[in-house]
Structure 1
Amino acid sequence: MRFVLAIVAFVLAAVMIVLGIAQRTILLEPAFTSLSTTVTGDTTYTVIDPSALAASSGSQTINVRGDGTIFLAYGRSDDVAAWIGTDAYSTVGFNDETGELTSTTTEAVVPDDEDTPADDAAAADAVPTEETAAIVNPAGSDLWLEEYSGTRTLTTTLTLPQDISVIIASDGVAPAPANIRLSWASDNSTPWAGPLLAGGALLLLAGLVLYLLALLHLRRSRRPRRNVPRGPRMPRLPRAPRPKAIKASQITASRRGITRRVAIIPMVLVSGLALSGCSADLWPDFSPAGTATATPTPTPQSTDSVEAAAELPPPAVTVSQLEAIMSEISLLTADADTSLNADTLATRFTGPALEQRLANYKIRAVDPAVAPLVALPGAPITFTLPQQTNSWPRVVMTVIQDENDPSIPTMAVMLKQESPRSNYQVDYLFALEQSAHVPEVAPAVVGAPAIAPDNKLLLLPPDGLAAAYAEILLQGEASPSYGLFESDGDNFRIQVADLNAAKVAALPSTASIEFAAAAGSDEAVALATNDSGSIVAVSMTETETVKPVQEGATVGPAGDALAAKALSGITTTTKGFQNTYRDQLLFYVPTAGSSEKIMLLGFAQGLITSAELP
């Protein structure tokens, strides 16, 4: 019976070991699923559609081959389409029926103003302007979530969701690379190979034990009985001669010994295979993550709110996008501030922020003793509020604060992107008040809608904010708008009053000074807050005019007014002179009817012109 059990164990062990080895060899599924296509035509851009990226589950490995430079980037499908605009491009899609990639070409469209719908803002924004028409290379665009480049071949592995597309190009002039292969990693793990190999090894060991026990039992059954009566005593035979000594080299193993050694070989082999089964791919996954978990019951909510949330436009940028943008702007600003390069600065600055910094460059070019403006740090970003939009221009507000270095002021930045092919530029740049409390806003993944400059649902319309505040600077409590603004914590108002008083006190009796303030010509930028209020950025212009009041008297910038001397080029004049300052102001404006007041969150001031009066 033991021999039968041993044979059964050997047979089962052989079957299990063969099945385990087969699962890792001839029955093993391929590790990757690949689809390839060759793009026809000579378009400069190729777009991989989300349907092609989702042709198989798992991460996508994209391999592109071509001559020369290869550029690859991915971004939201709407942003990719907007960047391409009306240019010709090829699309790589997926055919569900054939299971293969497809390649189609979209010809360039010449826009016709008469055929463009007036209410189709997204289509109008996608048409390149004269300024952006020359931008043909997609490399470096702020629209991309990530970008890669290589020469002749480029391979990258990504995990992209449904609403993301990939754009491929060379340099925007040469045709895009034509050979594209998409691959997806397949789950070819064999969770039962390990148990089969280990079980086969155990059965083989059990069979060997049974076989040895059977042999032992058989040998014992053939031994002579111990209590058998003794027979007659036989005569003593002569002793046989002692055999000659045999050398160790002449000893050879018996066939039974050789058989036993050969039998050990399968045991060693199977043991090695069983030990190799320690890989996680060879065993079932019993971890809690691999088991099904209960799905929480969603909180009931109205259908209207769900549909409204689904219809919200996406945020202009993601946090990771903004971090990359601010890092690049910070490095560029530092380089431009050092070299006083106005052309470099103009690629990333616009509006009042550009005007103030260019004036500082002019002053420092004449008098290097004048201090540069505060450097713009690129990190850490502690606040992000992108505009909800599918069109252009786009606006993003961010706050950069380094809590570990109190010497660096907390900076608030308003960025603007005019068109799909232009990059974000710093439109407003403020130093936040220490006591400023930024109101609650939507998370960065949701964004906030932009508020129209003439919106009447706020305590003051955004385009009337600068004029009202300028009136307060000139008239103080006599201004009709004085009660609308919070005076506590408004350090800018105190700073302006103290500086003006000091200038009046230092003025000689032979001269007069006149102060004026008015709203700037820059457009107000406003983003909504959660309480129906708004964060508003505006610009304001301040002027001070100094004139002699006696015939023959002269006036000039004060001795310590290095900036005014550098810009005006005068020390004394009989005509008088005028200094112009540009103010950048950031306010929180509550909703109309609120008991709260308008609060100044941050400001920046700089001398932009100083000239002799005509």
Structure 2
Amino acid sequence: MIGIPLRFKTAVALVLLGLLTLLAGIGQTTIWAPAETVTATAPADAKAAPLTVIDHKLRTVEGGTVTIKVKGEGSFLLAAGRPDDVDAWVGKTAHNTVTGLSEDTKALQVERTDGEATAPTPAGSDLWVSTENASGELDYTWTAPADGDWSLLLASDGTKPAPTSISMTFPNDTSTPWAVPLMVLGGLLMIAGAALLVLKPKGGTPGQGGFHISLGSQFAKRARAKAAARASAKAGTGAGTRLSILVAAATAAVLAGTGVAAQASQTPQPAATGASSSAAPSGSASAAPAAGDSPVLLDAQFRRILEQVASATDAGDAAKDAKKLTARVAGTELEVRTQNYKIRSRVASYDARMPVRSTKLLTTVVTSKRAWPRSVLAVTQGEGNVVPQLLTLVQSSPRENYKLVGTTPLQPGTTFPSIERNGTETLSKDDKSGLLYSGEEALAGLADRLTKANSTFKDKLVEGESSPYIADTLSYQSDVVKEGVNGKFAFSHKVVPGSTVVFRTADGGALVLGRLTFNFDGTPKSEGDKLSIGSDAAVLAGGKETTSGMVLNFAESMAVYVPPADSKDPMKLVAATRGLVGAKFK
């Protein structure tokens, strides 16, 4: 009885082993393929706190889009903001922070920070670029509204516990590095087994002696052509033919003599981050740049704030009620409008303040200085505005909203200086770096020029048609002195301490804003002489005539352009206005 030749047994074994190896490689990309996402859940025993922060690093820890599911009792909100803004708003309030992932990426790491038991509601804060309100449950897709880092804040109303049932779903590493090598190896083994069956032994009888395997060039060419043709014919047939495509591609690569074993999987590889990265260990998020140079407001935030400011001023103007202003108006503008309402309630002919409009936003100026107080500017013009006006808004602290502190019409024919819209540098009032004058020097020079006809700053400020305010003020003061034959009059303009804000312009100069106090002092020349004041001032002084003297106070809002240090140009008054805020008899 003739036994089965060893060559035949070996060939069959190689083919079977190759088939199993090939199937193992294919299985890694199909039935054994890793899940496309992984979900991590916050510990159920986490101690409740009024606020919960989700660290900005978790948005990019695994690469790709992150989705969040939050469950809680009653209503709650999720707010997105810059990490430093979120931290500043949280302040000393007790809170939980979701900081990273566990080693197996199945659990969220949560750190507790003790502190104050309650906080104001974060709803409506200007710090948030967006908010999501929910009741009971929220599904949220975490995307960045702009470049840089963004953290999330969860809260109910600041007094009740924030939701603690939080799960986050991240993209998973679906790479299969052994799939292609196994398929290639399986293909090689099957080809070797087939060769043993087809080729005859050299110089001996079947089953005896040695044999020689030779893959001729014609055989190799035909095999490559057939494999490539099969792969091409099936390339567009959909997911159901994936196995055939992989087998054909592997065989063609082997016969072509390429180094397939070193190639990557057919599936795109995510960035090596988070738990799968050697650069960033599991359970910690990868480092990201800080937001130190980011503008304090995005355009969408600025427009929303401006709309609310305009609504508040419209309501106050319509009702002549300063209480309706307090949520969005402060400082000089609140003082001037309050007195304006008081005068207009008694003197119908008295001019109202220029309305605040948000419909036509010409430009914005946003600081990249992230410390508080923060100042921003808007130039707007709408119905009721004869000329564009410069609006100055200030946020005093993280938990306060921006408030309008000044509305200043641009000087006729003035071109507003170019300032970087993506965030510009703000300087301290005494910082003269790169400037012809510091901010405080510029305003002090303007105040001196408005006070004295022979001021040393007369030639250092542009005057005439492009800056009529200076000439008009000097003319008014001169006329009062000439016409007031019964009185002695003195005028002064002084910078209000703490009011100066300086923004760097695109050409290296600066735009300086501040408040001056304009005092108008009158005293009768002789005993028995009387001084009269206008109906507007009489409302505040309580009468129209005095024999003892009077003092009128005006608040002046100013904006001055200061050229760079190497410029020979004079300073220029960009915007100016004044409003009566006080009147009294001596």
**Residue in structure 1 matched with residue 556 of structure 2 by the alignment:** 583
**Counterpart residue number, 2:130:** 146
What SS does the aligned partner of 2:452 have? helix
Q: Which amino acid aligns with 2:237?
A: L
Contact 1:50-1:162 at 8 Å conserved across structures: no
Please tell me whether the aligned partners of residues 526 and 537 of structure 1 are also in contact (alpha carbons under 8 angstroms). yes
What SS is found at the alignment partner of 2:531? coil
Q: 1:484 aligns with which of 460, 467, 480?
A: 460
- Return the alpha-carbon distance in structure 2 between the equivalents of residues 366 and 406 of structure 1: 23
Distance 1:607 1:104 in 2: 56
Alignment RMSD (CA, Å) = 3.4
Deviations 1:190-246 (A, max 9, x none): xx999437999xxxxxxxxxxxxxxxxxxxxxxxxxxxxxxxxxxxxxxxxxxxxxx
Q: Which position in structure 2 is the counterpart of 1:551?
A: 527
Aligned residues of 1:334 and 1:375 also touching (Cα < 8 A)? yes
Task: Give the drift of 1:172.
Answer: 0.5
Instruction: Give the C-alpha shift of residue 389 in structure 1.
Output: 2.1
Classify 1:554/1:502 alpha carbon distance in 2 versus 1 (closer, same or farther; 3 Å): same
Gaps of 5+ in 2: 1-29, 175-232, 242-267, 269-288
Structure 1 match to 2:320: 340
Equivalent residue number for residue 313 of structure 1: 293
Contact 1:522 1:539 in 2 (8 A): no
SS in 2 for 1:321: helix
Q: Describe the SS at the equivalent of 2:363.
A: strand
Query: Is 1:451 matched up with 2:435?
Result: no
Cα distance in 2 for partners of 1:199, 1:63 equals 34
More deviation, 33-42/414-423: 33-42
Counterpart for residue 607 of structure 1: 580
Given residue 91 of structure 2, which amino acid in structure 1 is its aligned partner? G
Task: Describe how 1:76-87 pairs up with structure 2 within 5 A.
Answer: 76-87=82-93
CA deviation after TM superposition for structure 1 residue 417, in Å: 1.7
Partner of 1:166: 152
Deviations, residues 350-387 of structure 1 (Å, cap 9, x unaligned): 33222222221332344454332111112333222222
Partner of 1:196: 237
Indicate yes or no: 2:360 matched with 1:380: yes
**What residue in structure 1 maps to residue 259 of structure 2?**
none
- Cα distance change on mapping 1:554 and 1:423 into 2, 3 Å: same
User: Aligned ranges for residues 99-178 of structure 1 at < 5 Å?
Assistant: 99-108=105-114, 136-160=120-144, 163-178=149-164
**Cα 1:464/1:350, change in 2 over 3 Å:** farther
SS in structure 1 of the partner of residue 358 of structure 2: coil
Contact 1:53 1:182 in 2 (8 A): no
> Is the Cα–Cα contact under 8 Å of residues 463 and 523 in structure 1 kept in the other structure?
no
In structure 2, do the counterparts of structure 1 residues 155 and 194 end up closer, same or farther at CA, with 3 Å as the change threshold? farther
1:466 CA displacement: 2.6
1:407-453 Cα distance to aligned partner (Å, 9 max, x none):
443121222222211212223321112322233322x22x2221111
Instruction: Report the AA paired with residue 543 of structure 2.
Output: I
Distance 1:193 1:506 in 2: 100
Structure 1 residue 603: Cα displacement: 0.9
Query: Structure 1 CA distance, aligned partners of 2:473 and 2:148?
Result: 54
Query: How many equivalent residue pairs?
Result: 448
SS in 2 for 1:322: helix
Deviations 1:90-146, CA, capped at 9 Å, x for gaps: 122332631124142332359xxxxxxxxxxxxxxxxxxxxxx99621111111111
* Amino acid in the other structure paired with 1:552: G
Aligned to 1:245: none
Distance 1:346 1:36 in 2: 43
75-84 or 360-369: bigger deviation? 360-369
| 2:567 paired with 1:594 | yes
1: distance between equivalents of 2:163 and 2:554? 52
Unpaired stretches in structure 1, ≥5 consecutive residues: 1-24, 111-132, 201-289, 291-308
Distance in 1, matches of 2:292 and 2:164, equals: 37
List aligned pairs for 1:212-291, cutoff 5 A: none
Equivalent in the alignment of 2:49: 43
Instruction: Tell me the distance in 1 between the aligned counterparts of 2:327 and 2:238.
Output: 65
Q: C-alpha deviations, 1:22-78, integer Å up to 9, x for none?
A: xxx999998976443356112111111233333554444433221122011001112
Corresponding position of 1:415: 393
Structure with bigger gyration radius:
1
- Alignment partner of 2:96: what SS? strand
Change (3 A) 1:136 1:310: closer
Tell me if the contact between 2:38 and 2:105 (Cα under 8 Å) persists in the aligned partners.
no
- CA spacing shift, 1:602–1:46, aligned 2, 3 Å: same
CA contact (8 A) 1:484 1:597 kept: yes
Residue in structure 2 matched with residue 440 of structure 1 by the alignment: 418
Identity %: 26
Q: 1:378 to 1:311 in 2, by over 3 A?
A: closer
